[in-house]
Structures are given as C-alpha cells and as structure tokens.
C-alpha cells in the first residue's frame, strides 16, 4: 500500500553532489593554453583518450580565433577518422504533457494555464506510431512530463505498445525514453519493456540556479535528479543520455560539469554516458523566461562548445535536435554530432493530427528546423553524409555500442556502415520521394564503392542489398 501517488519515493539520504562548483569556477577563471598546449590536448583526444577537466577548461577558455579553428579542426578530424560520415536519425514522440513541476522555462509546467493538457490513450498512441512508421521512422524517443499518471507501469505499457504497432513494412525498432527520474524498481520496470537509452537532462549543474528555476515539485530536488543515472545503472540500464539545458547558466560551466558527471559514472560503473545533449532554450508557450534566457551563448560560442565536448568525451554519441536551425545543425554535424531528429513535431498527438487544437498549444517549446524526414535524408545524402536507422547493436545485445564504434578498430567499417547502407536502402525502397530516391541511391552507390573489395564481408553486403531490393527487411550485421 506504499505507493499511492504513482510518483517515486524520493530518497537522497547520504548522497553528496559530485559536481565541484568552486573547482569548476577556478578552472574557468585560470585555465589557459597556447597553440602547442592545445595541440597536445587535441592529440590526446585523437589518440582516443577522454580529457581531464583542466584540459577541457583550456579548450573552453580559448579565445584566439586561430586556436578556436584548431579546436574545430581537431573535432572534425576526430569525427571523420573515428565515426565516419553516418548520422543516425530519430523522431521524438510526446506522450503526455501533464506535469507536477514548475520549471520556469518549460511550456508544460504546472502553473502554465495557456497550454492544453493532453495524454495520449493507447489507441491515440498507436495512431501516432503508425503515422511515424508510414513516414519511415525506425527509432523514437518518447517524452513524458512528470506526473503520477506517468508511472513506470504506464511508461512500460506505452513502450510495449510502440514495439507492437506495425504499419505496412514499417516498425519501430528502438525506443528511447526521456522521462522524469524513477527509483531503481521503476527503472527495472521500464528496462523490462525494452527501452534503449534512458535520457534525462540535469538542465543546470549549478545548484543555486537549479533551485531558482525549479521552484516546486519533485524536480526541485537537485540530488534526486543528479543521481538518476546511478539508479538507472543499478537497475541494469547501461545506455544513458546526459544533457544540460543551455541558457540557464554559463555554458562552459555546464560543459565541464557534464565531464565531471561522466567521470563519476566511469569511476562507479565503468562506463560513461551513451549520448550527450545540449539543447538550447527555445521560446515556450506561457514562459517569458524562455524568450529571454539569462545565459544564452552566441551561435559561435555554442559551436565551439560542441567541438570541445566532442574532443573531451571522444567515445560518446552527441545529439543535436531540431530546436536548432538548419544551417547550424549542418555545421555542427561536421564537429561530431552523431544523431539528429528529423520530421519532428512536439505537440502531443500532432503527427497524426488527432484533434483540432493546434499542436503549438500542446507543445513544450518551438522548433526551428521543420524539414520533413524525407527532405533531411535527401539533403544529408547530397552533403556526403550517410543517414542511418541502424539498431543492430541494441538488438544483438551490443549495448554501449557507441563505445565499441570508438574503441574497436574497424568496428564502424564492419558493422555501422553496412547497417547504415541497408537501413537507408529500406527507406529508399519504402518511403522516399522521387528526388530523395535519386540522392539516396547515389549515396548508397558511393558508400558501396568506397567499401574495400578485399573485405570478405563485401559479397555478403552486396547480397543483402539485393535482398532488400527484393523486399526483404531488417537485415543487419
């Protein structure tokens, strides 16, 4: 009879923050390096080593344009040599916008009366999923407010529903979730439903700011959130997605704090985050704060931060969402972004247009990149990138896949590139518009030609390509 509310029982007894606020501030005040030192730090990263806070602070503090260019070039080299040109595509799926918290920057916050509240029923969820599948999506991140209704059982049920739902040849093969922190039992429940990554953002690691922008609700507890990944990992979830909401506090502080968070996880669990996100605050319905974030970095500062994070945590996937405009996203991909969402709509029920209320009235914030999935795929192919819907590692139990891509020589060539080619070809066969068809087929051709003839896997890949063309689906290495 313990849990009446469906909310977890918050317990932070004995926990201490592992984010050393003063140390970070000192580093940001004092760290500096010349071209030679920066070159050595970049070389350390290119040799596949995570950087230390002092080294990351030197990069973050760089303000000489030549040194900034050196850092960006380092990030581009790392991205090219280790990860290649693949970009994984996903879509967000908002399940419900009820919320007990009052995050100042968010349209879903409890006291916001301007937003229309909505939680999808299972039937409505199914419609959303069918729509996404009919557009070619294979990977989703499901998003929930924090509310007693969205308890672990509810989340698990919605995840199972997504996996069960098939439309034509379409299916969702990986479901990640972004949901409020659970207790260990709750995490076990959602893991059992087959989630891929558990993503949650600390928003700001600066505790005084955190307290100011999270005035009430469970989220007001900084430590409960800070230890979310510890509980998730104790429950057996080893792919976790870290993030900070950029604009609440100094972005350099947040970037360094994410490195400390990473180090904490490495030391305690032997593995850092699967992905890192750094969403910038966007205007949100009913939030003045979101229109005037106090610490908004310029685009140039933001871009430099992305390049520095790429170098500091070279084994981690990096996500940049459609909050950002097209040109900025395209540039950032070059610095190491490995996953982007495409064709996104963040209104609850918006993909399938399930009611008359405009999706803006149910959205959390406003997106800048409104291109369709088809357009994004066409443009990526044209720019020599290789869009991928691969879910091979996750389905074969190769968790921590991003780490393998990074650590195992030849892994990208043997697994990731062929899987990207096969999943892109599926998209082309089943969903592509005529323009995107041509661009994507040219990209596939380019990738196949670049695949070495001497590799014994090449004939297998060529055979699988023919199988996909003949109608077979879901082939992967």
Distance of closest approach, residue 248 Cβ to ligand SF4, in angstroms: 11
Q: In the set 71, 78, 143, 444, which binds ligand SAM (CB under 6 A)?
A: 143
What distance in Å separates the CA atoms of residue 167 and residue 130, rounded to the nearest whole number? Answer: 5
- What tokens appear for 136 in the block? 């070619």
Report d(CA 17, CA 202) in Å as an integer.
12
Indicate whether 177 belongs to the interface with ligand SF4 (CB under 6 A): no
The reply to whether 238 sits near ligand SF4 by the rule CB under 6 A is: no
**Alpha-carbon distance 167 to 169, whole Å?**
6
Range in contact with ligand SF4 (rule: CB under 6 A) among 88-96, 98-106, 162-170, 348-356:
98-106
Distance of closest approach, residue 278 Cβ to ligand SF4, in angstroms: 15
CB of 208 to ligand SF4, least distance (A): 18
109 binds, among ligand SF4, ligand SAM, none (CB under 5 to 8 A by kind): ligand SF4
Residue 106 interacts with ligand SF4 (CB under 6 A): yes or no: yes
Residues 192 to 221: which contact ligand SF4 by CB under 6 A?
A: 219
Q: Which of 62, 71, 103, 393 binds ligand SF4 (CB under 6 A)?
A: 103
**Using CB under 6 A, which of 146, 151, 374, 447 touches ligand SAM?**
146
Window of 6-14, 69-77, 142-150, 418-426 that interacts with ligand SAM by CB under 6 A: 142-150
Per-residue contact string for residues 142-161; x = within reach of ligand SF4 by CB under 6 A: ---xx---------------
Binding string, 360-379, against ligand SAM, x = CB under 6 A? ----xx--------------
Given a contact cutoff of 8 angstroms between Cβ atoms, the answer to whether 367 and 329 are in contact is no
Q: Which of 118, 173, 323, 329 touches ligand SAM (CB under 6 A)?
A: 323
* Stretch near ligand SF4 under the rule CB under 6 A, chosen from 96-104, 234-242, 376-384, 389-397: 96-104
Binding characters for ligand SAM, 189-218, by CB under 6 A (x = yes): -----------xx-x---------------
147 is a contact residue toward ligand SAM (CB under 6 A): no
Q: How far is the CB of 246 from ligand SAM (least distance, A)?
A: 9
- If one asks whether residue 290 binds ligand SAM (CB under 6 A), the answer comes out as yes
Task: Give min distance, CB of 421 to ligand SF4, in A.
Answer: 37
Task: Answer yes or no whether residue 109 interacts with ligand SF4 by CB under 6 A.
Answer: yes
User: Toward ligand SF4, which CB reaches closer, 70 or 364?
Assistant: 364
Does residue 24 touch ligand SF4 according to CB under 6 A?
no
Where do contacts with ligand SF4 occur on this chain (CB under 6 A)? Answer: 99, 101, 103, 106, 108-109, 145-146, 219
Contact residues: ligand SAM, CB under 6 A: 105-106, 108, 143, 145-146, 178-180, 200-201, 203, 245, 279, 281-282, 284, 290, 323, 364-365
């Amino acid at each position: 009879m313990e849990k009446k509310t469906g909310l977890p029982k918050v317990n932070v007894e004995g926990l201490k923050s592992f984010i050393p606020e003063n140390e970070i501030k000192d580093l940001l005040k004092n760290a500096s390096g010349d071209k030679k030192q920066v070159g050595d730090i970049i070389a350390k990263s290119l040799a596949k080593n995570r950087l230390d806070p002092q080294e990351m602070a030197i990069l973050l503090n760089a303000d000489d344009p030549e040194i900034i260019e050196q850092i960006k070039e380092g990030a581009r080299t790392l991205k090219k040599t280790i990860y290649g040109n693949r970009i994984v595509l996903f879509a967000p799926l908002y399940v419900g916008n009820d919320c007990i918290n009052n995050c100042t920057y968010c349209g879903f916050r409890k006291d916001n009366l301007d937003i229309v509240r909505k939680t999808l029923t299972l039937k409505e969820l199914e419609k959303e999923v069918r729509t996404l599948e009919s557009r070619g999506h294979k990977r989703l991140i499901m998003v929930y407010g924090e509310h007693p209704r969205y308890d672990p059982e509810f989340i698990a049920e919605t995840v199972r529903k997504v996996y069960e739902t098939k439309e034509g040849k379409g299916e969702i093969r990986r479901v990640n979730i972004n949901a409020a922190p659970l207790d260990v039992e709750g995490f076990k429940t959602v893991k059992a439903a087959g989630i891929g990554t558990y993503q949650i953002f600390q928003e700001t690691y600066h505790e005084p700011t955190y307290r100011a922008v999270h005035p009430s609700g469970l989220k007001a507890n900084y430590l409960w959130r800070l230890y979310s990944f510890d509980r998730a990992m104790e429950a057996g979830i080893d792919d976790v997605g870290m993030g900070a909401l950029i604009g609440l506090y100094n972005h350099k502080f947040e970037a360094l704090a994410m490195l400390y968070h990473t180090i904490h996880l490495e030391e305690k669990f032997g593995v850092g985050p699967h992905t890192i996100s750094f969403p910038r605050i966007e205007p949100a319905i009913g939030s003045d704060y979101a229109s005037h974030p106090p610490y908004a970095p310029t685009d140039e500062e933001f871009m430099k931060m992305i390049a520095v994070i790429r170098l500091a945590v070279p084994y981690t996937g990096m996500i940049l969402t459609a909050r950002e405009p097209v040109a900025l996203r395209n540039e950032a991909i070059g610095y190491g972004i490995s996953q982007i969402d495409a064709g996104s709509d963040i209104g609850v029920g918006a993909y399938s247009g399930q009611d008359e209320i405009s999706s803006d009235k149910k959205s959390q914030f406003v997106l800048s990149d409104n291109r369709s999935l088809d357009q994004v795929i066409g443009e990526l192919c044209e720019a020599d990138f290789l869009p991928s819907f691969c879910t091979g590692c996750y389905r074969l139990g190769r968790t921590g896949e991003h780490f393998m891509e990074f650590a195992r020589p030849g892994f990208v060539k043997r697994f990731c590139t062929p899987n990207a080619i096969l999943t892109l070809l599926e998209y082309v066969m089943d969903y592509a518009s005529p323009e995107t068809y041509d661009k994507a087929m040219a990209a596939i051709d380019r990738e196949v030609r670049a695949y070495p003839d001497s590799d014994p896997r090449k004939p297998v890949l060529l055979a699988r390509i023919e199988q996909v063309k003949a109608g077979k689906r879901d082939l992967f290495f």
